[in-house]
Amino acid sequence: MIIYLLCLVLFCCGIYCILRKRNIIKIIVGIIISEYAVNLFFILTAYRVGGRAPIFSSEAEILNMVDPLPHALVLTSIVIGLATTALLVAIAMRIYEKYGTFDITKIRELKG
């Protein structure tokens, strides 16, 4: 149970970072943190008490194994996260070129 809670704490840290930090790089970091929190949670759904790795072997019949699917899914989602992060960082760099600042509250020409 405690591990789920830690996962939640991590997620909240990420969200806090997105909401409260002004530096856009920190916002991106916040996004990454909460993304990993979600990934972690997804992995946790695979966990079975006393389960073993889902590897077939001829030695013994497997009675209790963890769910292999979420691992595959999380790999995909990590890759997606990577793409998003790369794009965000690239945009952040360009923003710095144009606006000369990383402060999100100063990048507000579009409003109303």
Partner 1 sequence: MMKGSIIPLFVAIPLAGAFLTSFIGKKIEKLPDGLGLFTSFILFVLSLSAVRLYNIHGILTYSVGGWRPPVGIGMVLDGLTAFMLVTVNFVAFCIVIYSINYMKKFTSKWKFYTLFFLMLAGMNGVIITGDIFNLFVFLEIASVASYALVAFGTERHELEAAFKYAVMGTVGSLFILLGIAFLYGYTSTLNMADMGNILATNGINNIVLMVSVLFLMGFGLKAALVPFHAWLPDAHPSAPAPISAMLSGVLIKSLGIYAICRIFYNVIGINPVMSSMLMFLGTLSMVIGGLLALRQWDLKRLLAYSSISQVGYIILGIGLGTPLGILGGLFHLFNHSVFKSLLFLNSGAIEYSTGTRDLREMGGLAQRMPVTSTTGFVGAMSIAGIPPFSGFWSKLIIIIAAVQAGRYGYAFLAVLVTILTLAMYMKVIKYAFLGNLQEKWNKVKEIPFFMKLSMGILAFVCLVVGLVAGMAFLTGMDQTFIHRASETLLEGTRYAGIVLKEIK
Partner 2 sequence: MNLGNELFKFDALANFVGIFITLFSLLIVIYSFGFMRQRKGMFQYYIYIILTLLASLGVVFSNNLILLIVFWGFLGLLLYLLIGFGQKERTPSTAKKAFIIIGGTDALMLLGLAFIWKIAGSLTMDKISIALNTKVAIWTYLCLAAGAFAKAGAMPFHTWVPDTAEDAPTPVTAFLPASLDKLLGIYFLARITLDIFQMNGAMNTLLMGLGSFTIIAAVMMALVQHDLKRLLGYHAVSQVGYMVLGIGTGNPIGIAGGLFHMLNNTIYKSCLFLGGGAVEKRTGTTDLDKLGGFAKIMPVTFVTFLIASLAISGVPPFNGFVSKWMVYQGIIDTSKDGSYLWILWLVAAMFGSALTLASFMKLVHAVFLGQRSKEQKAPSDNRKETSSSMLIPTVTLASLCVIFGVFAYQIPLKLFIFPSLKMTDTVFYGIWSPGLATGLIIVGIVVGIIIYLLGTVAKTRETEIFVGGEIVKEHPEMRLSGTEFYNTIKEMGFLRTIYRLAEKKVFDIYDIGKTITSGFNKVLGTLHNGVLPTYLAWCLLGMIILFFILLR
> Which residues contact partner 2 by CB under 8 A?
15, 18-20, 22, 27, 104-105, 107-112
The answer to whether 85 and 71 are in contact (CB under 8 A) is no
Q: Which residues are at the interface with partner 1 (CB under 8 A)?
A: 11, 18, 24, 27-28, 31, 34-35, 38, 41-42, 45, 67, 69-70, 73, 76-77, 80, 83-84, 87-88, 91-92, 94-95, 98-99, 107-110, 112
For residues 100 and 32, what is the distance between their CA atoms, to the nearest angstrom? Answer: 24
Question: In the bound complex, what is the minimum distance in angstroms from residue 1's beta carbon to partner 1?
Answer: 14
Select from 12, 8, 14 the least CA-distant residue to 29: 14
Query: Which residue type occupies 33?
Result: I
| 20: partner contacted, choices partner 1, partner 2, none (Cβ within 5-8 A by kind) | partner 2
Closer residue to partner 1, CB minimum distance, 60 or 98:
98
| Residue 87: CB atoms within 10 Å | 10
Select from 100, 91, 42 the least CA-distant residue to 71: 42
Question: In the bound complex, what is the minimum distance in angstroms from residue 30's beta carbon to partner 1?
Answer: 9
